[in-house]
Amino acid sequence: MSYFSKTQDYPEVTFLYPEQGFWELIRKKFPPLRTKRWCCDFLRKYPSRKIPLRHRIMGLRTEESGKRAERPRMERNAREKTVILKPIFMWHEWSVWTFIERYKLPYPSLYDEGWDRVGCVICPFLCSPNMKQVNRNRERWPGIYRAFEHAVTEWYFAKKAQGANPREKTPEEYLDNWFRGIA
């Protein structure tokens, strides 16, 4: 959960927490990849299964990605018996900011610091050969990056101890490839 969420007063909102944290899940599974992104399921989706929710409201917008634009504005999750509502699905970014300003709503200060999207600090979708977003986030949140690198190093050595023969010769090489989106 973000610092912003923790500092706001939302008495009507129930915050749900995962059974296991991100670092522990890396050690048990593997670092999340673009093609195998388990983190969203384990950290955001699965916790809600313990508390039956009739509705889930999401702030997804079609403008954010082509894949999101292909999704419907309202979905029914038959397995969880939940209706997923996306009230700002068709809004443009300027519409969101106009709404925030008109109603004087609080928002994360990261936007004032130049971030245009606020999500997970470490995400495989930030990774790319030029390392621009990774380096920006690493500079802003060095402790989180150290913890990530530590968890990945432990996972790497555990994998080798189990007899796996990774392509990369060291955990540092694996991490470099991960941050560049190659792993």
143-160 residue pLDDT tens = 999 999 999 999 999 999
Query: Is the residue at 4 inside a domain?
Result: no
Q: 124 lies in which domain range?
A: 20-48+119-183
Domain assignment present for residue 24? The answer is yes
Average pLDDT over residues 129-146: 95
**Do 129 and 158 fall into the same domain?**
yes
Per-residue confidence (pLDDT) for residue 6, from 0 to 100: 67
Together in a domain, 60 and 101: yes
Verify that 69 and 151 share a domain, yes or no. no
Taking residue 47's Cβ as centre, other Cβ atoms within 10 Å add up to 15
Q: Is residue 86 part of a domain?
A: yes
In a domain, 15, yes or no: no
The per-residue pLDDT for 78 is 84
In a domain, 56, yes or no: yes
Number of C-beta neighbours around residue 42 at 10 A: 19
Q: Residue 7 domain-assigned?
A: no
Do 124 and 166 belong together in one domain?
Answer: yes
Given a contact cutoff of 8 angstroms between Cβ atoms, the answer to whether 25 and 38 are in contact is yes
Residue 88: pLDDT band (50, 70, 90) is very high
Number of domains in the chain: 2
What pLDDT band is residue 135 in, cutting at 50, 70 and 90?
A: very high
| pLDDT for 119 beyond 80 | yes
Instruction: Give the model's pLDDT for residue 153.
Output: 97
Q: What is the pLDDT of residue 77?
A: 82
**Over 80: is that where the pLDDT of 165 sits?**
yes
SS (H, E, C) 101-158: HHCCCCCCHHHCCCCCCCCCCCCHHHCCCCCHHHHHHHHHCHHHHHHHHHHHHHHHHH
Residues 89 and 149 in one domain: no
Average pLDDT score over residue span 75-85: 86
pLDDT reported for residue 3 = 66
